[in-house]
Amino acid sequence: MTPFDSSMFFYILFLSLIPAIFLGLLEKKLKYYGTILSLFMIVLFIGINKFQLISFFSFYIWQVILIEGYLKLRKKINNIWVMRLFVFLSILPLCLVKFSHFYTTSTLGFIGISYVTFRTVQIVIETHDGLIKKINLLDLTYFIIFFPSISSGPIDRSRRFEEDINRIIKKQEYLNYMGTGIFKIFKGVAYKFILSSIIYNYWLCKIPSSFSAINILQYMYAYSLYLFFDFAGYSCIAIGTGYFWGVKLPENFNLPFLSKSMKEFWNRWHMSLSFWFRDFIYTRFVMNSMRHKWFKNRYTSSYLGFMVTMVTMGIWHGTYLYYIIYGFYEGILLVATDYYQRKSKFYKAHKKEKWFMALSIFITFNLACFGLLLFSGRLLIYFK
């Protein structure tokens, strides 16, 4: 069963909300019920596939051993290479899944392995930073398997999550949570099941597959809008569902197609992902390169940081060529944007004028849509 994608899932979700609402209104902690339900939901998502069930439980045990082991080791050894080793071991199962098409035809992994890996890697890194000094096994388990966001995010942070699940929510506040949750779920349903379905069925599916400029442009815009409403819709439903369990998952989209630059776009599109890569790859790469004086110019560090971050993001989506090209494209756009905004006198003179902002939104929208066209893999079909 796919999360948030069928009437049966929503029926089960509705039934599961009843005890949550009852406990919430009684001002009881929801994490015990939430942990049991999340485990049940994951088994439901995976279904009768025994191999994926074994993969999931093996992954969970592996990650818990790594996290608990590194927490104890960190108290004795504060070495960045030890941390990097544990990060590598944490992402190793994901790497085996991502590269599995090179060496097997079997389906490896389980639903949500990419997003769960983000959660465990974050814990390892922040343990090294000294931000995490102790771990409660139940809280860790709940964080890893929290079902509303397991398949496609949003990507939460463990310390924020633990604060939510361990605080007592007063009745009136929980009623406010319910109101917010209902609004976001209905908004997500409208996005995912109405707007994205209309775009898909009445536009995207009707575009001829023959190579022509008009067909490519149509597909670029249709796919971009479809992807936004489908993914933003899913995110809204996941966030809304989280509110019923007292968890305020981070927002994932903020009108990204109204961005005035590609840097702004990545602060509005799939925000939990872009902020994760910013905090744990880009910032650390730049700070490390400046600390060790790898480059004479600090902008060189920043620009290489953009490229490393976006190419890594592309590979994270998949190891196919179009994902890697997409990562390079987005990295080049971020470098070009930063350079233009720093160097252009024309930009500095007109950036606050309405006509310039409107033109910037139009250009950014088209650049972003072309990036999503690359992401779709459609262009490579024509060149095979």
User: Which one of the listed residues 101, 128, 270, 317 is annotated catalytic?
Assistant: 317
Question: What is the Cα–Cα distance from 52 to 49, expressed in whole angstroms?
Answer: 6
Of 126, 181, 173, the closest CA to residue 148 belongs to 181
Question: What is the Cα–Cα distance from 301 to 116, expressed in whole angstroms?
Answer: 30
Helices 213-244 and 354-376, interaxial angle, to 10°? Answer: 90
Question: What is the Cα–Cα distance from 284 to 15, expressed in whole angstroms?
Answer: 44
Question: What is the Cα–Cα distance from 262 to 331, expressed in whole angstroms?
Answer: 10
Residue bearing tokens 């139940």:
138
Q: What are 87's two structure tokens?
A: 């990060």
Question: What is the Cα–Cα distance from 119 to 114, expressed in whole angstroms?
Answer: 9
Active site (annotated) includes residue 317: yes
Question: What is the Cα–Cα distance from 266 to 368, expressed in whole angstroms?
Answer: 10
Q: Which residues contact 9 (CB under 8 A, 6 or more apart)?
A: 1, 2, 3
Q: What are 378's two structure tokens?
A: 């459609």
Q: What single-letter amino acid sits at 33?
A: Y
CA separation, residue 296 to residues 78, 293, 299, 306 (Å): 29, 7, 9, 17
Question: What is the Cα–Cα distance from 20 to 2, expressed in whole angstroms?
Answer: 22
Active site residues: 317
